[in-house]
Amino acid sequence: MLLQIHEPGETPEPHALERGQAIGIDLGTTNSVVAMVSGSHPEVLRDAGGDGLVPSVVAYAYDEPLVGRMALAELARHPDLVISSVKRLMGRGAEDIKKLAGALPYEIAADAAAGGMVRLKVGDRVLSPVEISADILRALKARAEASLGHAVEKAVITVPAYFDDAARNATKDAARLAGLEVLRLVNEPTAAALAYGLDSASEGIYAVYDLGGGTFDISLLKLQKGVFQVLATGGDAQLGGDDFDHALAEWAMKRTGINGLTSGEAKILLQAARAAKERLTTAPGAELKAVVAGHEIRQSIDRGTFEILIEPLLGRTLRACRQVLADARLSATDVKGVVLVGGSTRVPLVRAIVADFFKQEPLAGIDPDEVVAVGAALQANALTRGSDTLLLDVIPLSLGIETMGGIVEKVIERNTPIPVTKAQDFTTYQDGQTGMLIHAVQGERETVDACRSLGRFELTGIPPMVAGAARIRVTYAVDADGLLTVSAEERTTGAKAEIAVKPSYGLSDDEMADMLRDSLTYAREDMEKRLLLESRVEAERVLLALRAALNADGKLLSEAERAEIDRVAHAVRERIAGEDRAQIHAAMEALDRATHDFAQKRMDIAIQMALKGQRLDEVEAGMATDGAR
Amino acid sequence: MAVVEKLGGDGAGAQFVPCWSCKGPVAARALFCHTCGAVQAPGAVDHFTRMGLAPGFDVDDALLEKQYLGFQRVLHPDRFAAKPARERAIAQSQSVALNEAYEVLGDPLKRGIYLLRLRGVNSAAADDKTVSDPALLMQAMEQREALAEAESVDAVENLMIAVGAQAIQLLSDISRAFADDDLDSANRFVLRLKYARKFLEEARLKRAALES
Ligand SMILES: Nc1ncnc2c1ncn2[C@@H]1O[C@H](COP(=O)(O)OP(=O)(O)OP(=O)(O)O)[C@@H](O)[C@H]1O
Ligand SMILES: [Mg+2]
Ligand SMILES: [Zn+2]
């Protein structure tokens, strides 16, 4: 087989490193969309009727969950078995849910009160939002597979920019349950900008105002030469069209004097409110009709009244807009274009206030429901096939650590570009203290209570010292998905202490393992398969590197030495073709030993050349500065 | 790891180490191996070197941005999505190093503190150490009082304009001090800049409170 050497940093054409085609998924509160790039164009995958939106609704009325329109159709018959807007619960604890206003269309499982991620009681099942989201993702994956005619295993999934760490992790877990490897979590407004930016090679500062069903994001991006650089992002992970529906439903309940709805009845009323709301986008008046609790609700509403109801909610979005401009040290007039995203931006009053705030007519060239998925597909394509565009994103909310007295010390400020790593030193406050509780929180407020708890990490094994003598370095690392990893180390003794992670609102590793076991489609073999794949990729890398080294310095070897290396390399190639991960590793280790002397010779030659004053490093020094163009 | 200093070379940067991937020699500062193309771990270089800029307080923002984006273009982990996990991790650490350098060099206050540290001066502005500049403390106290007494947006903004002008003046003072290699003055001006910044931040908060 012919091996190719790639340009530095270039993503190779899929052959030896083939990792399959990847799809882009907008996992929305109300609607989800799956798209992919075929040829060079992004395409939304539609049903037979041409509909690209899959309602994010799951019905658990039968053995197999139903997703989308079919699930919606079950609402009238089985209101208590149909779950919608589950995205609002991602990464949330039972306590958080109680804080959400209005009649909740969910039944919270009793045992969830103990803490950890909230669970819903759906008929006789108890389900976490992660499992329900996984069912939606499975349906989207199936749609893509049906359209492609083969299996799909990789995806870029979008999340609200304002999603916190717990919600991001929950999304990634859901994908894993659905048998999808997440190549990257991309922020929804960033994905939308990507979809727009590629269309109209525009440069300058753009604002993306994304008001969907359950979340609001506002992002400011600087576009230049294919780089999409997020300058600041803000929003509200609990604000969207759902809240308009709640406002309308509460208005109707007040007018009719009905209260104390069951969660099933609340769902039906909210559905009716939503229909009325959507009619008001094009009509001056609408009627809200529903039968709940044995009463018939019939209320006419005009657009003006509706606008009064939602005005305070829109005020909250403008406050976030002001904040991001301040964070980016920009004013509204610096913004060259405003992109509207999300179904709720169809509401005329939303368009009007955005136009008024930014003093310009917003862009709405691409369907606001589909633009995020299109961006996700473009990014999926860029990650698997290479691209000239680059997304540089930020963290939406500051990451901090609890200090004495429940005060938060910020470790990474909001709007810091990712990936990022920051460390901070702490000390012990008691003589002989051997442990320390590290509590990671996210949010802008100064007290722990007012921030979200992400997880507690117990650092143990600190050698006993007098108070204040230990130097404990806590490191926060945020990757390009916006996910946090915390580590801690005692520095004076160099003892690296163990940390145990207890995510506050996530799934524990055990829970995840149980769910993977339970899930019918993907089980342990899947995990094993993935590890095998990763080993193969690594082994290919080793062979490519060896080939490059032999091309450059093969002349340093005698024929016998060369033959021996070729023989061992061949053995690696054979193992790659096999199915045994352990054997691949053993063969790679053998190759490492077989090439040890060769590597040593190459280094020795370099030293000799250096002694002769030859500028061996010139080539690379040149490459180092070529990086910036 | 074998690090070999090239004899008779020009010192810094004239070193090479084995490439983690093909094991051959690669310049310690190289981003990619010239033999196998693998991305290399970010070396322990200063932020200016990393960005390909001459060290100094005066940094051209447009050039800094151009360098930053140029390096991110080739080093960001998204460029390595199809590569083995190890290469992705190395790319991530390169990208982290770039973000850190960009943050420090892009902000005059952080840049000043950093430049002092490179010259062996641990600036009081670097952490919340006690300050022994009576003139500065006096001025800061007066400005605070004035801010506390300001009762209108206009009054706050007038203070902001005055302190803002001081901050701009401080930038050229710092620049000159570094140019003259007068690290004591540079250190003093950097600390003043920190106080001016802090004041402006508080004034912004107060203005926002008055506006709403
Ligand atoms: N014509 C319309 N008028 C008013 N609202 C509408 C209209 N069409 C859709 N919506 C609302 O838009 C919301 C759904 O928008 P979208 O599909 O963009 O959200 P999502 O992506 O599912 O949610 P999110 O991005 O918050 O997770 C719903 O609240 C829906 O009622
Ligand atoms: Mg959306
Ligand atoms: Zn190499």
Same domain? For B169 and B97 the reply is no
pLDDT tens-digit map of A58-79: 999 998 999 999 999 998 899 8
pLDDT tens-digit map of B169-203: 999 999 999 999 999 999 999 999 999 999 999 99
- Comparison of pLDDT for B8 and A197, the residue scoring more: A197
Q: What is the pLDDT of residue B6?
A: 34
In percent, the amount of chain A with pLDDT more than 70 equals 86
Question: CA Rg, chain B, in Å?
Answer: 22
Q: How far apart are CA A115 and CA A292, in angstroms?
A: 33
**Residue nearest ligand 1's atom 8 by CA:** A343
List chain A residues with CB under 8 Å of B93: 421
Residue of A165, A173, A210, A490 marked active site: A210
Interval between CA B25 and ligand 3 midpoint (Å): 8
Residue A76 and residue A61 in contact, taking contact as beta carbons nearer than 8 Å: no
Tokens of B31: 């981003």
pLDDT above 80: residue A18 = no
Q: What is the pLDDT of residue A198?
A: 59
CA distance A184 to chain B (A): 8
pLDDT tens-digit map of A397-415: 999 999 888 899 999 999 9
List chain A residues with CB under 8 Å of B86: 538, 541
Instruction: Please report the ipTM that was assigned to this predicted complex.
Output: 0.89
CA distance B93 to chain A (A): 8
Q: What is the mean pLDDT of residues A281-307?
A: 91
| Residue A85 CB less than 6 A away from ligand 1 | no
CA distance B56 to chain A (A): 18
Q: What is the pLDDT of residue B52?
A: 94
Residue B72 and residue A228 in contact, taking contact as beta carbons nearer than 8 Å: no
| Active site (annotated) includes residue A514 | no
The reply to whether B39 falls in a domain is yes
Answer whether B31 sits within 8 Å of A8, measured CB to CB. yes
List chain A residues with CB under 8 Å of B84: 534, 537-538, 540-541
Q: What is the pLDDT of residue B5?
A: 34
| Active site (annotated) includes residue A425 | no
The reply to whether B117 falls in a domain is no
Where is A193: in which H helix or E strand? Answer: helix A188-199
Same domain? For B98 and B49 the reply is yes
Interval between CA B47 and ligand 3 midpoint (Å): 24
Q: What is the pLDDT of residue B140?
A: 84
B136 CA to centre of own chain: 24
Q: How many domains does chain B have?
A: 2
pLDDT above 50: residue A19 = no
Q: What is the pLDDT of residue A507?
A: 62
Owning domain of residue B37: 5-106
Q: What is the pLDDT of residue B209?
A: 84
Q: How far apart are CA B82 and CA A19, in angstroms?
A: 7
Q: Which of A124, A52, A137, A125 is closest to A90 using CA atoms? A: A137
Same domain? For B88 and B132 the reply is no
Q: What is the mean pLDDT of residues A425-438?
A: 87
Band (pLDDT 50/70/90 cuts) for residue A207 is very high
Instruction: Provide the greatest CA pair distance for chain B.
Output: 68
Answer whether A418 sits within 8 Å of B86, measured CB to CB. no
Nearest residue in B to A13, CA atom = B82
pLDDT above 70: residue A113 = no
The reply to whether B113 falls in a domain is no
Answer whether A628 sits within 8 Å of B25, measured CB to CB. no
Q: Which residues contact A477 (CB under 8 A, 6 or more apart)?
A: A419, A420, A421, A484, A485, A486, A487, B96
Residue A232 and residue A327 in contact, taking contact as beta carbons nearer than 8 Å: yes
pLDDT tens-digit map of A486-499: 888 888 776 665 55
DSSP state letters, A58-89? EE-SSSSPEETHHHHTTTTT-GGGEEE-GGGG
**Residue nearest ligand 1's atom 1 by CA:** A278
Residue of A26, A80, A131, A135 marked active site: A26
Antiparallel, parallel or unpaired: β A227-236 and A390-392: parallel
In percent, the amount of chain B with pLDDT more than 70 equals 92
pLDDT tens-digit map of B98-120: 999 999 999 999 999 999 999 99
Band (pLDDT 50/70/90 cuts) for residue A375 is very high
CA distance A580 to chain B (A): 18
List chain B residues with CB under 8 Å of A479: 77, 92
Architecture in CATH for domain A14-240+311-392: 2-Layer Sandwich (3.30)
Residue ranges covered by each domain of chain A = 14-240+311-392, 241-310, 399-512, 524-626
Give chain B's mean pLDDT. Answer: 88
Where is A487: in which H helix or E strand? Answer: strand A484-490
Q: How far apart are CA B159 and CA B149, in angstroms?
A: 11
The reply to whether B12 falls in a domain is yes
The reply to whether B47 falls in a domain is yes
> A14-240+311-392 with A241-310: one CATH topology?
no
DSSP state letters, A404-462? GGGEEEEEE-TT-BSSEEEEEEE--SSTT---EEEEEEESSSSBGGGSEEEEEEEE--P
The answer, yes or no, to whether the previous bond of A419 is cis (omega within 30 of 0) is yes
CA distance B202 to chain A (A): 14
Domain-terminating residue out of B41, B71, B106: B106
Q: What is the pLDDT of residue A270?
A: 92
Ligand nearest to the CA of A240: 1
Has domain A399-512 been given CATH number 2.60.34.10?
yes
Q: What is the pLDDT of residue A6?
A: 38
Distances (CA, A) of A512 to A238, A251, A506, A507: 26, 41, 10, 6
Band (pLDDT 50/70/90 cuts) for residue A524 is low
Nearest residue in A to B49, CA atom = A625
Ligand nearest to the CA of B19: 3
Same domain? For B69 and B149 the reply is no
pLDDT tens-digit map of A296-338: 889 999 999 999 999 999 999 999 999 999 999 999 999 999 9
Same domain? For B102 and B66 the reply is yes
Residue A215 and residue A236 in contact, taking contact as beta carbons nearer than 8 Å: yes
pLDDT above 80: residue A192 = yes
Q: Which residues contact A276 (CB under 8 A, 6 or more apart)?
A: A248, A286, A287, A288, A301
DSSP state letters, A91-153? T-BHHHHHHS-S--SS-B-GGGGGSSB--EEETTEEE-HHHHHHHHHHHHHHHHHHHHSS---
Q: Which of A503, A566, A394, A13 is closest to B99 using CA atoms? A: A394
The reply to whether B94 falls in a domain is yes
User: In a 10 Å sphere around its CB, with 0-12 CB exposed, 13-18 middle and 19+ buried, how is residue A121 labelled?
Assistant: middle
Nearest residue in B to A540, CA atom = B84
Q: What is the mean pLDDT of residues A600-610?
A: 85
Residue B200 and residue B167 in contact, taking contact as beta carbons nearer than 8 Å: yes
Same domain? For B41 and B96 the reply is yes
Q: What is the pLDDT of residue A539?
A: 94
Nearest residue in A to B64, CA atom = A628
Strands (E), chain B: 4-5, 15-18, 25-27
Q: Which residues pair with A235 in a beta bridge?
A: A217
Same domain? For B78 and B133 the reply is no
Interval between CA A241 and ligand 1 midpoint (Å): 6
pLDDT tens-digit map of A500-523: 455 566 666 666 666 665 654 455
Q: Which residues contact B179 (CB under 8 A, 6 or more apart)?
A: B57
| Residue A28 CB less than 6 A away from ligand 1 | yes
Nearest residue in B to A611, CA atom = B7
Please list all protein residues whose beta carbon sits less than 5 angstroms from ligand 3, which is an ion.
B 19, 21-22, 33, 35-36, 38
- Residue given tokens 């473009």 in the structure block: A378
Rounded to the nearest 10 degrees, the angle between the axes of helix A165-177 and helix A509-518 is 30
Q: What CATH number should be reported for the domain holding residue B30?
A: 1.10.287.110
Q: Which residues of A586-595 are buried (b: 16+ CB within 10 A; e: fewer)?
A: ebbebbeebb
Interval between CA A325 and ligand 2 midpoint (Å): 22
Q: What is the pLDDT of residue A515?
A: 64
Residue of A74, A80, A87, A481 marked active site: A87
For A72, phi then psi, to 5°, come to -60, -35
Residue B150 and residue B156 in contact, taking contact as beta carbons nearer than 8 Å: yes
Highest mean pLDDT among A163-167, A288-292, B88-92: B88-92
Residue type, A406: G
| Active site (annotated) includes residue A87 | yes
pLDDT above 80: residue A282 = yes
Q: Which fold has domain A524-626?
A: Substrate Binding Domain Of Dnak; Chain:A; Domain 2 (1.20.1270)
| Active site (annotated) includes residue A210 | yes
The reply to whether B120 falls in a domain is no
Residue type, B103: E
Question: CA Rg, chain A, in Å?
Answer: 28
Give chain A's mean pLDDT. Answer: 86
| Residue A347 CB less than 6 A away from ligand 1 | yes
| Residue A214 CB less than 6 A away from ligand 1 | yes
Q: Which fold has domain A241-310?
A: Actin; Chain A, domain 4 (3.90.640)
Residue B66 and residue A380 in contact, taking contact as beta carbons nearer than 8 Å: no
The reply to whether B15 falls in a domain is yes
Residue A221 and residue A233 in contact, taking contact as beta carbons nearer than 8 Å: no
Q: How far apart are CA B171 and CA B115, in angstroms?
A: 14
